[in-house]
Structure formats: structure tokens, C-alpha cells
Amino acid sequence: MKKVIKYVVIDILRNRIMMAYTLFLMVLSFSIFGLEDNSAKGLLGLLNIILIIVPLVSIVFSTIYVYNSAEFIELLVSQPLKRKTIWMSLFFGLSISMVLAFLIGAGIPVFIYQADITGMMMILIGVLLSVIFVAVAMLAAVKTRDKAKGIGVAILLWLYFALLFDGFVLFILFQFADYPVEKAMIAISMFNPLDLARIMILLKMDVSALMGYTGAVFKDFFGTELGMGLSFVVLLIWIFLPLGISTKRFKSKDL
């Protein structure tokens, strides 16, 4: 397994797109922190990167990579290796390289400009999101045979998590404006890793505002150690659930 992971990681790290992604993240983060006179505004810019660009690149790149390495996978399958091992190594290889790219690209600027609890939280969340979207991408790739369709599904999934889901939540909030929906909202936010990630970062960034109104409800839940722990567990479930399903699927897939 280690050997396969090594091959995958080396293969990805040599990839030009990965280099470009790392460089892009780095330039963007440095310019965000450098241009803004206060670093809190820089963090805000970085939040948008983490919530939009990281998942997008992670999901699209991983899907394409899985399709492109179809022949490599076929070769591995012909070897005395378990299918689960192959799929897992692919996942770990992709995850390690995505995380590495993120840590170098965004982690270093954060360490330099904002090495406090908020910054650390952002790095942690960014890493988790990278891995979550690798897992989701692999599920998308294993479910569809056609490459173009697979990439389309991946992009749609990203669009859903980043935009459509929140639109749906907004719609619900307005439809049920007369009801106490705060607690239900906490549950609903669990269904979108991006929402969960955003709220966790906000609790470190905009505490003053979140303390007001029903914000206090969110703070009372996500702000406590139990809520924080539960949120992390849910984020981990967002990694293991798609991964589990895709592994099962891959095991019986006719290549």
C-alpha cells in the first residue's frame, strides 16, 4: 500500500496543475495579507479561498485524476493487490498531495501573518475540506463511467455545496420565519461540510456578532467543547462516508 501511495503522490506532485495550484494559493494568500492594512480583513479573504477555491480544485482535480489513471488502476488490479488497498492508496495519495499543496500555499502565509487560534482553525478546516472533497470526488468518479459526465457531476456537486445548499437554507429560513428554527438549522448545517466549516471559523472570527440574537444559540452549541467535537466528528464522517461507499462500489466495479 505504501508503495502505491508513494507512486501516486510522486505522480501528482510532478503534475503541473498541482504546482500551479500551490503557487496560486501562495500568491493569493500573500497578496491578500499584504494588501490589506489589517490582517483581520486578510483572514476574511482567506476564508473565501478556503470555502470556494479549495473545494473546487480538490474535487475537480481528484475526479480528473481518477479518470486519467484508469489504465494505471487496471494495471494495479492485475497485480496481487486487494482492490480496497488500491482504492485507499489512491485516496491517500490524492489527499496527501492536496493537503501538502494547501499547507504550502495557504499555511505558510497564515503562519507568517496570523499565527493565532483563528489562523490555526482556518488551516485545520482547510485541510479537512481538501480531504473531504477528495473523498466526494472519488465517489463521483466511481459512480459514473463517462469522464465528461463525471467531471460535470463533480462540478455540480461543488456548486451544490458552495451555493445551492445555502440558497435552499435561505429559502427554508424565510418560509419558516415565524417558527423557532435555530436548532433545526444546526442540524441542517451538518449536511453541508462547507457550512459547518464556515460556522466553525466564524465562531473564532466574528464572536461579537454571533453572541447577539439567535447567534447565541449557535454559539451555545458550536462554541462548547461538545459542539466543537461533534462538528469535527461530522466533518470526519464527511470523509469516511463517501470513501466507504466508493470503496464498496469500486470493489465490485466492472473496470
Per CB under 8 A, 34 contacts another protein: no
Q: Please, what is the minimum distance in Å from the beta carbon of residue 19 to another protein?
A: 27
Per CB under 8 A, 144 contacts another protein: no
Is the distance from CB of 105 to CB of 29 less than 8 angstroms?
Answer: yes
DSSP letter at 178?
Answer: T
Between 105 and 195, CB nearer to another protein: 195
Figure out which of the listed residues 27, 146, 167, 233 binds another protein, where binding follows CB under 8 A.
Answer: 167
DSSP letter at 181?
Answer: -
Per CB under 8 A, 129 contacts another protein: no
What is the DSSP code string of 201-236? HHHHH-HHHHTSTTHHHHHHHHTSHHHHHHHHHHHH
Instruction: Report the C-alpha gap between 72 and 8 in whole angstroms.
Output: 10
Figure out which of the listed residues 170, 226, 233, 236 binds another protein, where binding follows CB under 8 A.
Answer: 170
Per CB under 8 A, 173 contacts another protein: yes
Q: Please, what is the minimum distance in Å from the beta carbon of residue 182 to another protein?
A: 5
Q: From the CA atom positions of the chain, what is the Rg in Å?
A: 19
DSSP letter at 9?
Answer: H
Residue 213's region, left for phi above 0, alpha for psi from -120 to 50, else beta, is left
Residues 211-240 that bind another protein (CB under 8 A): 211-216, 218
Per CB under 8 A, 207 contacts another protein: yes
Is the distance from CB of 213 to CB of 233 less than 8 angstroms?
Answer: no
Residues 36-75 that bind another protein (CB under 8 A): 38, 40-41, 44, 47-48, 51-52
Residues that bind another protein (CB under 8 A): 38, 40-41, 44, 47-48, 51-52, 162-163, 166-167, 169-170, 173-174, 177, 181-182, 185-186, 189, 194-195, 198-199, 202, 206-216, 218
